[in-house]
Amino acid sequence: MSERVGRGKGVGMDVQRVVVVPGGARVTRVTDAGVVEVPLRVELRLDDLAEALARVLGATGTVADDNAPAPGAGTLVVGSVDVLDDLAGSGADMGWVVGLTLPRLRAVRVTSAFGLAAGVDSDVMHAWADEGGGEGGGGGGGGGDAIYGRTDVRLPRPAVVADDPLDAFGAYARITLPGVTDLPTLLATYLTATP
């Protein structure tokens, strides 16, 4: 990994509305007490994510159980892989989409393939949902909250940008901001980085 201050163009998104879309995954929890179905919206605390992300971006935040709205023009859509499939299939502007719960070993490639604004892998997302952030990313050896984004973005603070083949692909890489351990803050810092 290399530590550097980002340079080049920024994402510079002026987000006015954050819409988190759970998608069609079914979650079932099995314990000694039995089997319960848990809505993904609850399992991943998506309402909290929408609210926190909207707060740091100065936007409104909602969770849409139905179809995703068209991303772009101030609307940032946050969704899992099946949501990305649907959006890409409809020709949406994927530059206004953040991918959630991406498979750890393929996260940077999925982010790159869809041309997303940013991606969040499953380990980081679950760590944030389980622990409120701060200790995420351990599963894949990440160490701290991380996102996948473009490497040529000018970030306002020093960033650690992965350069190993697992976490760097094309114009994208795994990015961490030392000292920023909260996922919504990390996302907002990256998305609003000035050009």
Partner 1 sequence: MRTLLAALRAAFYGAPGNALRGGMVGRARAPGPANPGLIARFFGLLARQVVGQVRQQALPAPGPIAVPVAGPVAGPVAGPNPLTAAIVSTAIVAAAMRYPALRRMAMMLGLDPAAVAPTLTAALPGAAGQQPAGPGAAGPQVAGPGAAAPGGQQVAGPGAAAPGAQQAAGPGAAGPVGQQTAGPGGTGGGQNPAPTRTDAIVPGLYASVDPAVPPTGWTFTDTVMPRRADVVSIETQVVAPTRETGRMVRSYNLITGNLSLDEAFLQRIPGDKRWLNISPPMVPGRGTPLETYMTIRCMKLFESVAGASFFGRTRTVHISTIVNRRSMLQLGAARKQGRSLHEAARTCHSTTYATNAIVQSGGKIASVRYSLGQGSWLPASRAVSDPAELAKYGLVPTDEVPYYFDIDIDVEQA
* Chain positions contacting partner 1, by CB under 8 A: 23-32, 35, 37-38, 40, 43, 80-82, 85, 101, 103-106, 109, 122-123, 126, 130, 138-140, 164-166
96: left (phi > 0), else alpha (psi -120 to 50), else beta?
alpha
Cβ nearer to partner 1, comparing 100 with 155: 100
**Least distance from C-beta 114 to partner 1, angstroms?**
13
Cβ nearer to partner 1, comparing 40 with 63: 40
Cβ nearer to partner 1, comparing 167 with 189: 167
Q: Which residues, other chains included, contact 95 with Cβ-Cβ below 8 Å and sequence gap of 6+?
A: 71, 72, 115, 116, 117
**Least distance from C-beta 148 to partner 1, angstroms?**
15
**Least distance from C-beta 50 to partner 1, angstroms?**
19
Q: Copy the structure tokens of residue 2.
A: 């290399």
Q: How many CB atoms lie within 10 A of CB 165?
A: 8
Do residues 61 and 20 touch, judged by C-beta distance below 8 A? Answer: yes
Give 94's DSSP letter. Answer: G
**Least distance from C-beta 157 to partner 1, angstroms?**
27
**Least distance from C-beta 125 to partner 1, angstroms?**
11
Cβ nearer to partner 1, comparing 55 with 109: 109
The Cα 7–Cα 10 span in angstroms is: 8
Cβ nearer to partner 1, comparing 27 with 63: 27
Using CA atoms, how far residue 93 sits from 13, 22, 42, 141, 172, in Å, is 13, 19, 27, 32, 17
